[in-house]
Amino acid sequence: MRAADALVRAIVAGGTRHVFALSGNQIMSVFDAAVDVPLELIHVRHEAAAVHAADAIGRLSGRPGVALVTAGPGFANTLSALFAARCAESPLVLLSGAAPSGRPGAGAFQEMDQAGLAAAVCKASWTCVAPEQVAGDFARAWRRAKAGRPGPVHVAVPVDVLESVVQTAAEPAVESEEEGSAPAPADLDAVCRAIGEAARPLAIAGPPYRRRHAAGVTLSLSDAGVAVVAMDSPRGLRDPALGAFAEAVAEADLVVLLGKRLDHMLDLGRAPPFAPDCRFVQIDPEAEALRQAAGNAGGRLMLQAQGDPGRWAAAMGERLAGCSLDVGWREEIEAAVAYRPAHWRQAGGDSPVHPARLGYAVHDFLAGSAESVFVSDGGEIGQWAQACVSAPHRIINGPAGAIGAALPFALAARTLFPVARIAATMGDGTFGFHPLEIDTAVRHDLPFVAVIGNDARWNAEVQIQHRNYGADRAIGCELRASRYDGVARALDAYGAAVESAAALPAALEAAHASGFPACVNVRLQPVAAPVITRH
C-alpha cells in the first residue's frame, strides 16, 4: 500500500472520524486513501477554516482534531489559525502536503520551508521524508499535541513520500503519551502549607480548565475550600464572563497559577490589580512559562514546580480536604464572578437590539438542550455574549484576540454533538472572514444557528477611535448594513432578519427548527463592551 493509505489507517486507528480538509495537488493520494476507510473528509472552503475546525474539536473534546491541507499557499493560509490554537492551548494535528522531497532548493512547484514557518506558531513542526515513517509521525504528532500544555503540531509530508509504496504494518498507537510526574512530596507540602496559612488564597487555571471536559480537574481543590477561577480570554482579569472578578482579585494574598502563564492576561502580576504583598506559586508543564513568571513576579514568587497542573490540583485537593479553609472567601470570589447588573435584561429598549438582550436571548435558547454548545466570536459583541450566555459547552475566539473562527467552530461542534442546540454569536465584521463555511455546513449536513449582530461597523475599533482620538476623527471602520441572512439563503441555508429584541426568541427557535445551517441577522446597537463593577 501507499504511505497515504498507512496515514489514513493511523488516523482512523486513533479514533478520528472527521478530518477537516481542503484539496490540492500534493494531497490527492490521501483523499483517495480515505475512500476505503471509515473517515469523512469535511471539505471546507479555506485552509484556515480547516485548522479552526480542528481547533474546535480539541477544545470541546480534549482530543486533537485533525486538519489536512495542500502545500505552499494552501499551507500558508493556516498560519494565523495555528497561532490562535497555540494561544488557546488547543490540541490539533495539521498535516500538509509538500513539494517533492528529492531535490530541496531546486525550485519545485510550491516549494516552501513549511516546517520552519509553522515552528513559530506550533508546539512542534517537522517534515516526514521517509514513507515508512508517515503513520508513526502522525501518531507522534497526535501524542505531542495532547501532552503537557496542549497545542497544535504540524507535519509536512512531500507528495512523493505520500505516493510511495510501503509494506503493510500495524497502525501505531496514539494514546500512549506519558503522564506527568506526581508532585514531589516536599513541594506539595510547601504549597499546601502556604494555602493553609493564607487568608485569601486563589487558584487561577489556564485555558484548558475553562472547558467542560477538563473542568473536573480542579473540582477537588474547590471542594477543599480554595477559590478557583479558569480564564481563556485575552481580556484576562477584565473578561466580562468573569463578572466583577477584577475587583475581587485585589484582595487575594496568595495566587496559585495552575497551568496559567503570568502574562498580559494577569497584567504580568503587577500591583495593581494584585495587592502589593500578594505572593505567587506556579505549577506549569513548561520551563519557559516558569522563566517568564520568575521575571515578572520577582521576589513575590515564592515557589515554582514543573509538572502537570491537573495532577497537582488533585493532589492538593486531597491534601487540603481535612483542613479548615475559609469557604467564605471562595464564596466571595464565586459571587464576584457570577455578578451581572440586573438591568441588562431590559437594556437599550427594543430596537435596535442591545447586545445584552441579544446575549440573554441566546442564553435562553440554548437552555433548551442539555448538551448545548455556545460559540462566541468578534470584538465588542463577543464580550457581551460571553458575559450573558452560559452553556454546557463553550468556545470563544481565545487568548490570541483573533476573530473569524465562529462558523468553522460551529460546524465542527456539530460533528461531536449530533442533536444538541448550537448557537454561534458574532459581529458583522467577523462573519466576513469565513461566510462560505455555511456552504460547507450545507454540503455536509451540519446545522447550527449563527447569530450576527449587525451594527454596520468594526465596533471595537470605532470605540478605540472615539476614546483615543475623538468621534470626529473616526475613519475606515464603517461597514454596510448588509443582509447576511440573504447570503445564507443564497447558499441554500436558512436566513432571517430581526429588528427587535422581542422578535429574537421566536426567530432563534424557527432557525433551529428549520434543520438547516441558519443565519439570524440582528440589527444591533453599536455600544462598547461591558466593564462590570459592583461599586
Note the pLDDT of residue 105: 74
Report the share of the chain in percent with pLDDT over 70: 98
Looking at the DSSP assignment, which residues form a beta bridge with residue 204? 229, 257
Q: How far apart are CA 313 and CA 9, in angstroms?
A: 37
Contact 276, 222 (CB under 8 A): no
Contact 167, 294 (CB under 8 A): no
Contact 195, 256 (CB under 8 A): yes
Q: What is the pTM of this model?
A: 0.96
> Would you say residue 175 has pLDDT above 70?
no
Lowest mean pLDDT among 16-25, 123-132, 207-216: 207-216
Could you tell me the pLDDT band of residue 180, with boundaries at 50, 70 and 90? low
The three-class DSSP label of residue 189 is helix
Note the pLDDT of residue 181: 72
Could you tell me the pLDDT band of residue 326, with boundaries at 50, 70 and 90? confident
The three-class DSSP label of residue 14 is coil
Higher-confidence position of 213 and 405: 405
The three-class DSSP label of residue 164 is coil
Note the pLDDT of residue 92: 98
Q: How far apart are CA 86 and CA 91, in angstroms?
A: 8
Q: How far apart are CA 306 and CA 315, in angstroms?
A: 15
> Would you say residue 256 has pLDDT above 60?
yes
Higher-confidence position of 116 and 535: 116
291 by Cβ neighbours in 10 Å (0-12 / 13-18 / 19+) ranks as exposed
DSSP character string of 384-429: HHHHH---SEEEES-TT-----HHHHHHHHHHH-SSS-EEEEEEHH
- Residue range 185-338 forms a domain whose CATH class is alpha beta
> Would you say residue 535 has pLDDT above 80?
no
Note the pLDDT of residue 110: 82
Domain 3-163 and domain 185-338, same fold? Reply is yes
Grid cell of 3 as nine digits: 504511505
Note the pLDDT of residue 123: 97
Note the pLDDT of residue 52: 98
DSSP 8-state code for residue 503: G
Q: Where are the domains of the chain?
A: 3-163, 185-338, 342-523
CB-based contacts of 487-492 (< 8 A; 24+ apart in sequence): 487/435, 487/438, 487/519, 488/438, 488/450, 488/517, 488/518, 488/519, 491/436, 491/438, 491/439, 491/442, 492/442, 492/516
> Would you say residue 178 has pLDDT above 60?
no
CB-based contacts of 210-214 (< 8 A; 24+ apart in sequence): 210/394, 211/59, 211/60, 211/62, 211/393, 211/394, 212/60, 212/392, 212/393, 212/394, 213/60, 213/61, 213/62, 214/62, 214/310
Note the pLDDT of residue 169: 59
> Would you say residue 30 has pLDDT above 90?
yes
Grid cell of 446 as nine digits: 451540519
Average pLDDT over residues 453-478: 96
Could you tell me the pLDDT band of residue 176, with boundaries at 50, 70 and 90? low
Average pLDDT over residues 296-301: 93
The helix (H) or strand (E) run that includes residue 304 is strand 301-306
Q: Residue for cell digits 477561577?
A: 229
> Would you say residue 51 has pLDDT above 90?
yes
Q: Which residues of 521-533 are buried (b: 16+ CB within 10 A; e: fewer)?
A: bbbbbbbbbbebe
Note the pLDDT of residue 325: 85
pLDDT single digits (tens) 381-424: 999 999 999 999 999 999 999 999 999 999 999 999 999 999 99
3-163 has CATH 3.30.470.10 classification: no
Note the pLDDT of residue 111: 86
Q: How far apart are CA 116 and CA 466, in angstroms?
A: 41
Note the pLDDT of residue 167: 85
User: For the domain bounded by 342-523, which CATH number is listed?
Assistant: 3.40.50.970
Note the pLDDT of residue 379: 94
